[in-house]
Structure 1
Amino acid sequence: MLTFFRNFFKTKIGLGITLAFLVLIGFAFASSDVAGTATFGGVAGGDRVAVVGDERIGTAELSEAAGRAVDQIRQRDPTVTMQAFIAQDGLDEVVDQLIDRAAIAKYAKMMGLRAGDNLVNSEIMSIPAFRGADGNFSQDAYEGVLAQQRLTDAEVREDLATGLLAQQLLTPIERGTIMPEALIRRYASLLRERRTGSLVLVPSAVFAPEGDPTDAQLKAFYDKNRERYIRPERRVLRYATFGADSVDDRIEPTPAEISARYERDAAVYGAKETRSIAQFIVPTEQAAIAIRDRVNAGTSFEAAAREAGFAIARSEAVSRSDLASSTSAAVAQAVFSAPRGQVANPARAPLGWYVVRVTDIQTTAARSLAQATPDIREQLRTEKRAAAISDLSAEIDDRLGQGESLSQVAQGLGLELRSSPPLTADGQVYGAESQQPLSPVLRPAIDTAFQMEEEQPQLAEVVRGQAYLIFEVTDITPSAAAPLSEIKEQVTISWRLSEGMAKAREAADRILERLRTGKADTLQAAISAEAERLPAAEQVNLGREQIMAQQGRVPPALALMFSMAEGTSKKLEAGNDLGWFVVDLKDISTDPIADDDPILAATRAQLQGAMSDEHTRQLVRAIRDELGVERNDTAIEAVRRQLSGES
């Protein structure tokens, strides 16, 4: 659960950027809510959990950061709880990150680094959560996100400034790390390593007894290995579906409804004007006027922006209302008053003075009622269909709540009842020769169906606002071991293989002994000395790159070969009582690496990343030592207890 959390903080991105965003931005804008533990009045041990230099880290700050950390992890594992997070030392991780964050910011300021208002403004504008429908910064979106996360503008700006300071301090470490070429070549050569040898599976079936076990032997084996024969819980669903086809006879719009909709949305069907613009923001009105005058005098808009040190943002077909919502009414008024190709009069918005050039003007003619009728008719059909389906689902829900059975509801509405085959909780049809997936119409019901009791009809949404499912559980077969009488043949085979495993291991040991003592110079010769007829040895000649390309799906015997010392032999259990592998590694070789081999560049990047991470951690530790850090373990323990729900 915490692997993602810990590993992310160990990277240069996690340490250099997430440190600064831990308290507010990093978790606040990545998650949908905050654990409701923002206030900690009366926590024992004082209101601080640590002091970095002369900066205090409060108990409320730790509580909020822990809540957001849990929310972040829940995006990958929704089952995570605060108690589990704390039990795996998550709170200690958060405390360390808060201390590192405060130390980095304070030290950066001591070194003369700064993050001014203009730089913070540019960071705010680059955050996707603050953009409107047109892709540009929206003041309404910005204020909405802050209100949702219960943050103030000052808090966000302070935390962004801290993040910018961290980037300025830590980025040179990342850029300045250089690995010795000899070390790079050594690690790269490991990736080009090639191993040759042989392996064989000594199958337990060769040594399995031919006769049948006695009833007592079979019963004892079955009882000992009962968990092998557990059958999953199965449930049968009876269901009916309804959707658009159930309400299509009541959704045709009337001429009066079409006319009323046309009048209501007159602005939609009237003449419209949109504008394509290029823009950037400057801090003062004087600067904006000067740039406008230069452009209108003949300087290109791009050159004026570049010389002033600003990047141009472009937007296509922006309406006046959209522009006003993303900037200000004054900016929209100025832009829609300017002719095509000209720079509008500078106007102010919360982030500064806008310099905007109108690159194109698009106009749309008004549409008559006759012209708009096809679109309005389809729009009304969609709305009425959704409303009718919603009303029908509400009616069915009410009828089920009043005690009507599924059969009664289906009969009353003329719906066809069907029954599913036995289903397992993972959405498979039980007993199918090959895995047969669950019908898509039943997918939304499977989780609920495996939590409910029989004869409790339920309503589920198949396609949002369009299709629904009514269902009930008609048969439940609990999970249990299959009766021995039904699987006697299967258990007998397993017993034989289990009995053969011991003798297969003895044979594998004899083969290894011949190789180790020199009685056999090859694995095949050691196999041939066995009295039983065994499979021939398989020759292996593989490079490590081939093994790595399998991305974790490496057969266990090959994985063992690539972890052995040269000239050694080992055995490995095959699993499921199938037998024992014997692996004989003869040689490990490495081909020379050319100076222009791409593997050198890839290895260099990987090692430099690891080294820069280590340098970053060492710098942070040195900064903490330089500033001095005091932890208040009493207060931290109090926060831990309160977050865990302890008194």
Structure 2
Amino acid sequence: MRRRSPDTYHLLNGFSRMLHFFRTLIKSKVGAIVAIVILGVIALSFVAGDIGGSRNLGGAGSGTIAEVGGEDITSADLNREANEALQRVRQQDPTLSMSGLIARGGLEILLGDLIDLNALYAFGKEHGVIAGDRLIDSELQRAGALQPNAIPRESVANRLVARQVLSPAEYGAVMPRELAWRYGQLLGERRTGSIAVLPALAFAPEKAPGNAELQAYYKAHTSTFIRPERRVIRFATFGSDVVKNVPAPADAEIAKRYEANRAVYAAIERRSLTQLVVPTEAAAKAIVAEVAGGKTLDASAAEKGLAAAKVGPLSKQDLTAQSSAAVANAVFAAPKGQLVTARSPLGWYVVRIEAIDQQAGRSLDQVKGEIATALTADKRRAAISDFVAKIEEQFENGSNLPEVAKNLGLQVQSTPSLTADGAVYERPGEAVEPSLKPVLKTAFTMQENEPQVAETQPGAAFVIYDVTAVAPSAPAPFNEIVNDVKVAYALDRGAATAKAQAQAIQAAVRKGEKLDAAVAKLGKRLPAIERVGMTRPELAQIQRSGRQVPPPVRLLFAMARGTVKVQEAPQKRGWFVVVLDSVEPGKLDRNDASLAGAQRELGKVAGGEYAETLRKAITKSVGVKRNPAALSALRDELSGKSPE
């Protein structure tokens, strides 16, 4: 990229933020139904968000994936983002490979994120929205990333500008009470319906496919048969008992430690706070005035779509680092219970002092035992560190793992073939032993026969280990998975037939035929039609408990009364035909106290929608040109496909 490389949001980050909101939303009385209803609206807005142009920018060799406002997003930019995204996603799914990420559409999502950030930055720059050095420093400090090159300053600047451009659209959005009441009426509704299940295997071809047909299917669906990377780890464990006779600290050492940490034992004041941040001084003063008039700080914040946060106890130094010197000075000059306002690079703070904790200083005699214990622990850690360093030195000098283990009197073991999540490959239910879990991630980045030593339990347990075999992630050879291909083929062909039959049943029911009769005409032995009756509170309770809600039941709560819909089963294992027979509305008084909370919760959703609409408009106005050929070339390269 000629200008700068933006910090791409986490893969699917927009969806993660939305899901986090809904998890919070469904915990409230009216929120449960609001979340369910609004989810469909948000989904539609994302579907409608096609912002890219289709003009060709040249061949794949040009290296330009897209052009945003006259600036390039190159193949190198997107390649880097894909690799970083894969590492982040592997925190939740360690077995995911780059080809798997590509197969899930990850490259397109990352490109969309890059386009959005560049468009927002270009728009902000054109209209004087910038991120100054103090604001960037503050953001880096909040992220704990002030070390050189931990996070590029340009990336932070891009993200901050994007936030400033979109935040006015989100701030203070409140849903009208009438609309909140109408949604709230849905809270107690009960829905009843019928669900027909058409399994794919019930409609699979009766004639077995020939070898050529299976080979063609395998070639067309290679990504379906990708095996995860597997590794064999060789290891030996030892404990802290390898270090003997740690000397006790002398009085002089204790006194020296006390002097070096005198500030730790000095008197200190810490304060617990409730705070929120608003964009302007006028907004801060308005909140202070409302609280002075009898409204709580939490209520005032909630009415504006904000949330007051509890922080602390914090020292003045800690608060300065988190906000600004002006905020810390104001807070530590005020008495308990007072509300203060002060400016920081992120906006105006409104802070209430909840508690003040003042601790007296302690003398050397008072902390002598405490320091002696700490020094003894330090000496033991240092001795263990020296011991580990000697092991590392042996490895660096060319000793292999069995040789070092023999010198230490340790027993060498080897794991079965493992996947990155710690599972034993092709042995369901078996997993790597607990002592190796802390080093598993590193083991899947190592070269073969390059031993390392690691601490697996702080100060207590250690392991020396290396990798003796690596089987890279790749499609399984056809001749090794013929039976799997046969099953996948049967499911695929059966699912296609099941879909056609489901649509035929849908058409018949729409014409007035009963679901039972339409299914019976198929002449197949199918699961019995299920009759479902459930209220929205029951649905919300299932979701809150973490249990899985069957897809057709979820669909039942997104349909109009008297309609019939078809739905694909998970993993393409069949189709559902869902008929909503009746809807019994719940009752909610117009003066119900829960409506105020529903207004705020719906307001947050509306604010997000306003920001999303603004984002689309800005991206369109800045102008986007895509290079499909370059994107396809990068996709093939990252997937390991040979150029044709």
- The bucket for the TM-score relative to the shorter chain is 0.5 to 0.7
Identify the match of residue 453 of structure 1 among 441, 447, 451: 447
1:94 correspondence with 2:121: yes
Taking the aligned partners of 1:128 and 1:545, their CA distance within structure 2 comes to: 43
Q: Which residue of 2 aligns with 1:251?
A: 246
Q: Which residue of 1 aligns with 2:284?
A: none
1:429 correspondence with 2:435: no
Identify the match of residue 466 of structure 2 among 458, 469, 472: 472
- The secondary structure found in structure 2 opposite 1:428 is coil
* 1:501 Cα deviation after fit: 4.0
- The secondary structure found in structure 2 opposite 1:433 is coil
1:605 correspondence with 2:600: yes
Q: Which residue of 1 aligns with 2:199?
A: 203
Identify the match of residue 569 of structure 1 among 544, 564, 570: 564
Taking the aligned partners of 1:360 and 1:404, their CA distance within structure 2 comes to: 56
- The secondary structure found in structure 1 opposite 2:410 is coil
* 1:608 Cα deviation after fit: 4.3
Cα RMSD for the two superposed structures: 6.4
Amino acid at match of 2:251: S
Identify the match of residue 443 of structure 1 among 437, 441, 466: 437
Which aligned pairs between 1:365-444 and structure 2 lie closer than 5 A? 367=365, 372=368, 375=370, 378-434=373-429, 436-444=430-438
Identify the match of residue 238 of structure 1 among 234, 237, 245: 234
CA 1:605–1:206 in structure 2 vs 1: closer, same or farther (change >3 Å)? same
Which aligned pairs between 1:607-626 and structure 2 lie closer than 5 A? 607-609=602-604
* 1:408 Cα deviation after fit: 1.1
Q: Which residue of 1 aligns with 2:4?
A: none
1:536 correspondence with 2:535: no
Contact 1:275 1:317 in 2 (8 A): no
Taking the aligned partners of 2:417 and 2:112, their CA distance within structure 1 comes to: 38
* 1:593 Cα deviation after fit: 2.1
Amino acid at match of 2:518: A
Q: After superposition, what is the alpha-carbon deviation per residue over 1:69-92, rounded to whole angstroms, capped at 9, x for unaligned?
A: x9xx999889999x9698423133
Taking the aligned partners of 2:236 and 2:526, their CA distance within structure 1 comes to: 58
Taking the aligned partners of 2:516 and 2:426, their CA distance within structure 1 comes to: 42
* 1:533 Cα deviation after fit: 2.9
Taking the aligned partners of 1:548 and 1:242, their CA distance within structure 2 comes to: 49
Q: After superposition, what is the alpha-carbon deviation per residue over 1:200-247, rounded to whole angstroms, capped at 9, x for unaligned?
A: 11223444567xx66x72563265237444332211111123441221
* 1:530 Cα deviation after fit: 3.7
Identical counterparts, % of pairs:
31
Amino acid at match of 2:530: E
1:224 correspondence with 2:217: yes
Q: After superposition, what is the alpha-carbon deviation per residue over 1:281-336, rounded to whole angstroms, capped at 9, x for unaligned?
A: xxxxxxxxxxxxxxxxxxxxxxxxxxxxxxxxxx99999x99xx9xx9xxxxxxxx
Amino acid at match of 2:574: G
Taking the aligned partners of 1:618 and 1:178, their CA distance within structure 2 comes to: 17
Contact 1:179 1:607 in 2 (8 A): no
* 1:538 Cα deviation after fit: 0.8
Q: After superposition, what is the alpha-carbon deviation per residue over 1:372-423, rounded to whole angstroms, capped at 9, x for unaligned?
A: 4x65653343122211222122222221111111111111222332212221
* 1:595 Cα deviation after fit: 3.0
CA 1:511–1:398 in structure 2 vs 1: closer, same or farther (change >3 Å)? same
Q: After superposition, what is the alpha-carbon deviation per residue over 1:233-291, rounded to whole angstroms, capped at 9, x for unaligned?
A: 211111123441221x14233xxx52332453576999x88487999xxxxxxxxxxxx
TM-score, normalization: structure 2? 0.53
Taking the aligned partners of 2:400 and 2:237, their CA distance within structure 1 comes to: 15
Contact 1:218 1:491 in 2 (8 A): no
Contact 2:175 2:602 in 1 (8 A): no
Q: After superposition, what is the alpha-carbon deviation per residue over 1:496-523, rounded to whole angstroms, capped at 9, x for unaligned?
A: 54554455445434533442333x3x31
Q: Which residue of 1 aligns with 2:518?
A: 526
Amino acid at match of 1:399: Q
Q: Which residue of 1 aligns with 2:176?
A: 179
Taking the aligned partners of 1:367 and 1:431, their CA distance within structure 2 comes to: 62
Amino acid at match of 2:121: V
Taking the aligned partners of 1:381 and 1:417, their CA distance within structure 2 comes to: 32
Residue range with higher mean Cα deviation, 479-488 or 406-415: 479-488
Larger Rg: 1
Which aligned pairs between 1:39-50 and structure 2 lie closer than 5 A? none
Amino acid at match of 2:176: M
Contact 2:218 2:478 in 1 (8 A): no
Q: Which residue of 2 aligns with 1:556?
A: 551
Taking the aligned partners of 2:561 and 2:608, their CA distance within structure 1 comes to: 33
- The secondary structure found in structure 2 opposite 1:236 is strand
Q: After superposition, what is the alpha-carbon deviation per residue over 1:626-646, rounded to whole angstroms, capped at 9, x for unaligned?
A: xxxxx9x9xxxxxxxxxxxxx
The answer to which structure, 1 or 2, has the higher relative contact order (CA under 8 A, 6+ apart) is 2
Amino acid at match of 2:185: S
Amino acid at match of 1:90: L
Q: Which residue of 2 aligns with 1:636?
A: none
Which aligned pairs between 1:482-521 and structure 2 lie closer than 5 A? 482=476, 487=481, 490-498=484-492, 500-501=494-495, 503-505=497-499, 507-518=501-512, 520=513
Amino acid at match of 1:535: P
Taking the aligned partners of 1:186 and 1:269, their CA distance within structure 2 comes to: 62
Q: Which residue of 2 aligns with 1:585?
A: 580
CA 1:318–1:387 in structure 2 vs 1: closer, same or farther (change >3 Å)? same
- The secondary structure found in structure 1 opposite 2:416 is coil
Contact 1:235 1:423 in 2 (8 A): yes
Taking the aligned partners of 1:91 and 1:9, their CA distance within structure 2 comes to: 21
CA 1:493–1:275 in structure 2 vs 1: closer, same or farther (change >3 Å)? closer
Amino acid at match of 1:409: V
Contact 2:177 2:595 in 1 (8 A): no
CA 1:273–1:235 in structure 2 vs 1: closer, same or farther (change >3 Å)? closer
Q: Which residue of 1 aligns with 2:304?
A: none
TM-score, normalization: structure 1? 0.53
Taking the aligned partners of 1:469 and 1:605, their CA distance within structure 2 comes to: 53
Q: How many residues align?
A: 461
Taking the aligned partners of 1:502 and 1:9, their CA distance within structure 2 comes to: 35
Amino acid at match of 2:423: Q
CA 1:479–1:405 in structure 2 vs 1: closer, same or farther (change >3 Å)? same
Contact 1:200 1:536 in 2 (8 A): yes
Structure 1 spans left out of the alignment, 5+ residues: 11-49, 51-58, 60-69, 104-122, 131-140, 152-158, 280-314, 329-357, 620-630, 634-647
Taking the aligned partners of 1:198 and 1:440, their CA distance within structure 2 comes to: 47
